């Protein structure tokens, strides 16, 4: 039996981290961080397969964290999914252009989150952005 893949959840809201842990804890080895700097340290040390990343956080926001992670890890090695209440097209485009594999709006559905994690682990784009938006 192979070891469970590691998922790192980075969010400054403890309740959101608990929800993610409850949703994924049976299927993945879930690590949590309450700010971007702590999350980066965990990512570098543990090399998670997927990072679930809030956008609005103190210390380092999710966009900064995404940019640093993407400079260190390829899309295939580490999927980055932005999990945020900021779900406007401009927010998603910004995330896509700095390296996010996908996005999910808060509050999220467990099955949708699991599906995006699985797609991300396969190296697939799960951004769900319109084709014309990606050409900008």
pLDDT tens, 63-104?
Answer: 999 999 999 998 888 999 999 888 788 988 899 999 999 999
Q: Look at the chain and report how many structural domains it folds into.
A: 1
Residue 20 lies in a domain: yes
CB atoms within 10 A of CB 93: 18
Here the CATH number for the domain that contains residue 52 is 3.40.50.2300
Instruction: Decide if pLDDT at 134 tops 50.
Output: no
Residue 40 lies in a domain: yes
Tell me the residue range of the domain where 54 lies. Answer: 6-134
Residue 1 lies in a domain: no
Q: What's the CA gap between 101 and 96, in Å, rounded?
A: 7
pLDDT digits (tens, 9 = 90+) for 28-68: 999 999 999 999 999 999 999 999 999 999 889 999 999 99
User: 105, 56, 65: which is closest to 83 by C-alpha?
Assistant: 105
Helix (H) or strand (E) holding 25: none
Instruction: Decide if pLDDT at 22 tops 60.
Output: yes
């Amino acid at each position: 039996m192979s070891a469970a893949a590691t998922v790192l959840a980075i969010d400054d809201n403890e309740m959101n981290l608990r929800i993610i842990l409850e949703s994924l804890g049976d299927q993945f080895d879930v690590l949590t961080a309450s700010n971007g700097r702590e999350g980066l340290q965990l990512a570098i040390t543990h090399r998670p397969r997927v990072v679930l990343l809030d956008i609005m956080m103190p210390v380092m926001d999710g966009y900064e964290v995404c940019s640093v992670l993407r400079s260190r890890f390829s899309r295939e090695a580490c999927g980055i999914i932005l999990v945020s209440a900021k779900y406007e097209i401009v927010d998603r485009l910004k995330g896509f252009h700095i390296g996010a594999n996908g996005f999910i709006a808060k509050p999220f559905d467990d099955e949708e989150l699991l599906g995006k994690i699985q797609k991300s682990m396969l190296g697939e784009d799960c951004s769900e952005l319109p084709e014309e938006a990606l050409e900008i």
